[in-house]
């Protein structure tokens, strides 16, 4: 009897150990919700729909994008954080809810580290330092020199907290100060900059490229390790004296914490294979970025490092924490 009971226990234990794998093998058995914190037509939304199409094709169940914009991405992030950890709620998130919010808010209705499981990074999109087309500043060193001559006199348009933080990092590296003019969105900020209301700004490449190419803005530097393919004559920040300065917007895939690792691995593998293939590379390139993939652990380490760096800049620059 004892031997039979022991055998039964071992069998039950084996079933329990095998159940996550079995669940992963059959995953998904119903539609998967893909939450985005930005409205339809945004970069994150477009990316989510691209990946959802490929995941649907590969896994045989619909991956359905659901937009939950507003409230500094709190609504979307909280919906994912509170979802069942079964693999049927996915988050295509930008750096704003997963990094910036952690640095500029004292309390969040979610924890960007502990409430989520990083699955795969997607792409990163370099920021560009820009001035009005008729600005007297032809280069980034000329702009920096002007700020040194008149501390805090020049003002910069900031469409999002992430852009303000990126600009304050550049200020810190050069020992200068500017006066921030905050806007409710990148569009109004860049429109006012082009009209000469502000002196300079920084924004993700897709937000400013049309105005640069249209002669409304002048690009001074690319905050990337290499020149941008659409702006071959614009130097990187490092080329003009700002070694190591890089600033990006980025996107990645997350599940709620405690989703079976086998499910996360399966989805992550498809995302990485898709992005590193010709269609995925062409898609990210068309959006102005570069494919940015790696293991789930590399993505988690990257996010943590970005939070620490951002918090330091917020503190040094005395950016108000809400």
Closest by CA position to 105, among listed 70, 72, 68: 72
Instruction: Write out the DSSP string of 140-155.
Output: HHHHHHHHHHSTTTSE
Name the β-bridge partners of 156.
180, 200
For the cut 70, the answer to whether the pLDDT of residue 315 exceeds it is: yes
- Euclidean distance between CA atoms 206 and 248, whole angstroms: 12
Nearest 5°: CA angle at 319, between 314 and 322? 100
Q: Please report the pLDDT score of residue 256 as a whole number.
A: 98
Q: Average pLDDT, stretch 169-180?
A: 96
Q: What percent of the chain has pLDDT over 70?
A: 93
Contact 231, 128 (CB under 8 A): yes
Lookup: tokens for 194: 């082009």
**Cβ neighbourhood burial of 295 (10 Å; 0-12, 13-18, 19+):** middle
For residue range 100-129, list pLDDT tens digits in order.
Answer: 999 999 999 999 999 999 999 999 999 999
Give yes or no for a contact between 47 and 122, defined as CB atoms under 8 angstroms apart: yes
Biggest CA pair distance of the chain: 91
pLDDT at 43: 87
Is the domain spanning 126-240 CATH 3.50.50.60? The answer is no
| 8 A C-beta contact, residue 48 and residue 34 | yes
pLDDT at 51 over 80: yes
pTM: 0.87
Which pLDDT belongs to residue 14? 37
pLDDT score of 30: 97
Q: What is the structure's pLDDT at 42? A: 87
Give the pLDDT confidence score for residue 172 in this predicted structure.
95
pLDDT digits (tens, 9 = 90+) for 133-155: 999 999 999 999 999 999 889 99
**pLDDT given at position 304:** 97
pLDDT at 311 over 60: yes
Region 9-27: what's the mean pLDDT? 49
Cα–Cα nearest to 189, from 213, 167, 221: 167
Instruction: Identify the residue whose tokens are 């499910």.
Output: 263
Secondary structure class of 190 (helix, strand, coil): helix
Start-end ranges of CATH 3.40.190.150 in the chain? 31-124+249-316
- Fold classification of 31-124+249-316 (topology level): D-Maltodextrin-Binding Protein; domain 2 (3.40.190)
| Closest to 91 in 3D by CA, of 120, 58, 61, 62 | 120
Mean per-residue pLDDT over the chain, rounded: 91
| Mean pLDDT on 127-132 | 98
Cβ contact 264:271 at 8 Å: no
What's the rounded Cα separation, in Å, for the pair 71 and 128?
26
Q: Of all residues in the chain, what percent carry a pLDDT higher than 90? A: 86
Q: How many CB atoms lie within 10 A of CB 76?
A: 25
**What pLDDT does residue 23 have?**
56
Cβ atoms within 10 Å, residue 33: 17
Residue 41 confidence (pLDDT) = 87
What residues does CATH 3.40.190.10 cover in the chain? Answer: 126-240
Alpha-carbon gap, residue 191 to 208, rounded angstroms: 10
């Amino acid at each position: 009897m004892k031997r039979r009971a022991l055998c039964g226990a071992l069998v039950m234990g084996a079933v329990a150990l095998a159940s996550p794998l079995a669940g992963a093998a059959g995953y998904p058995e119903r539609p998967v919700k893909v939450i985005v914190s930005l409205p339809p037509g945004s970069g994150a939304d477009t990316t989510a729909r691209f990946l959802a199409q490929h995941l649907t094709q590969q896994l045989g169940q619909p991956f359905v994008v659901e937009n939950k914009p507003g409230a500094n991405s709190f609504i979307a992030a909280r919906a994912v954080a509170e979802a069942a950890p079964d693999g049927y709620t996915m988050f295509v998130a930008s750096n704003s809810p997963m990094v910036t919010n952690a640095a500029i808010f004292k309390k969040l209705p979610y924890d960007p580290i502990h409430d989520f499981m990083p699955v795969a990074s997607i792409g990163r999109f370099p920021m560009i330092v820009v001035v009005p087309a008729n600005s007297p500043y032809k280069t980034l060193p000329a702009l920096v020199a002007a700020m040194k001559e008149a501390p805090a006199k020049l003002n910069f348009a900031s469409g999002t907290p992430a852009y303000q933080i990126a600009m304050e990092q550049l200020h810190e590296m050069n020992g200068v100060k500017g006066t921030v003019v905050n806007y409710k969105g990148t569009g109004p900020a860049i429109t006012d900059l082009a009209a000469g209301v502000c002196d300079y700004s920084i924004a993700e490449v897709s937000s400013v490229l049309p105005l640069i190419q249209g002669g409304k803005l002048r690009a001074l530097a690319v905050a990337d390790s290499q020149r941008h393919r659409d702006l071959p004559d614009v130097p990187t920040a490092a080329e003009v004296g700002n070694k190591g300065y890089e600033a990006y917007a980025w996107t990645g895939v997350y599940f709620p914490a405690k989703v079976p690792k086998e499910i996360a691995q399966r989805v992550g593998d498809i995302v990485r294979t898709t992005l590193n293939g010709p269609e995925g590379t062409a898609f990210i390139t068309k959006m102005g970025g570069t494919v940015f993939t790696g293991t789930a652990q590399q993505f988690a380490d990257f996010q943590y490092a970005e939070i620490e760096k951002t918090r330091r800049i917020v503190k040094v620059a005395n950016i108000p924490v809400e």
